[in-house]
Amino acid sequence: MSEQPVPVPVVVVQGREVSDFPEFAPEAARGRVLRVTVTGEEVLHRVNADVPESMLGGAELSRLIDDMFVTMYASEGVGLAGSQVGVDLRVFVYDCPDDDGVRHVGHVVNPVLDERDLDDPVVVESEGCLSVPGPHADLGRAEHATVRGVDKDGNEVVLTGSGYFARCLQHETDHTFGKLYVDRLSARERKRVLKKMNEMADSVFARREERAQELERELAG
């Protein structure tokens, strides 16, 4: 009996399906791991500045995106916004699966989320955040999401996702407007999450340091 064919994982980079892609986005090998900001830090709680046109196509923005990718991987996240590395710019990176197992990878500069279709269901699922290290909480998000922006060179980007990837797009766009997922919780639930964060943070930080060292070896090899 012949072997069953193994399905080829589908990877979508910058909204376009590709035939081959490595374990880590190539940007990560060029980046350096940065400190992830924690809720309460001012840059996380205000609308960040739009990336100016003068930065598009430039080395500074490209370096920032490289650093954000490797920091996201070191923190074992699926998305990371500029404010989460202390940078007051509206940009985020992502490497996130959807509910069908499709892997979505890329970045968005100056993202804007389309208004939710009133017929689109709100799904309540567990959500966490690298800037709220440790705990998760149930939160309602739209089942589908579309984000529009540009890439680091100024080319138009339109990303549409469902399920977990839609949640990621909403979560990261929120960051660029100064909103964390805990800000969408009830006061009681937010208090519980922050208390749990204080209990868990040290072990999370230790794990991130360990993972950063592992990742450095993996990317070098």
Site of tokens 């690298």: 130
* C-alpha closest to that of 135 among 91, 86, 193: 193
Catalytic residue among 3, 125, 172, 209: 172
CA–CA dist 92, 131 (Å, integer): 14
Q: How far is CA 210 from CA 60, 73, 197, 203, 216, in A?
A: 28, 12, 19, 11, 10
17 among known catalytic residues: no
CA–CA dist 12, 8 (Å, integer): 13
Query: Which positions are catalytic?
Result: 172
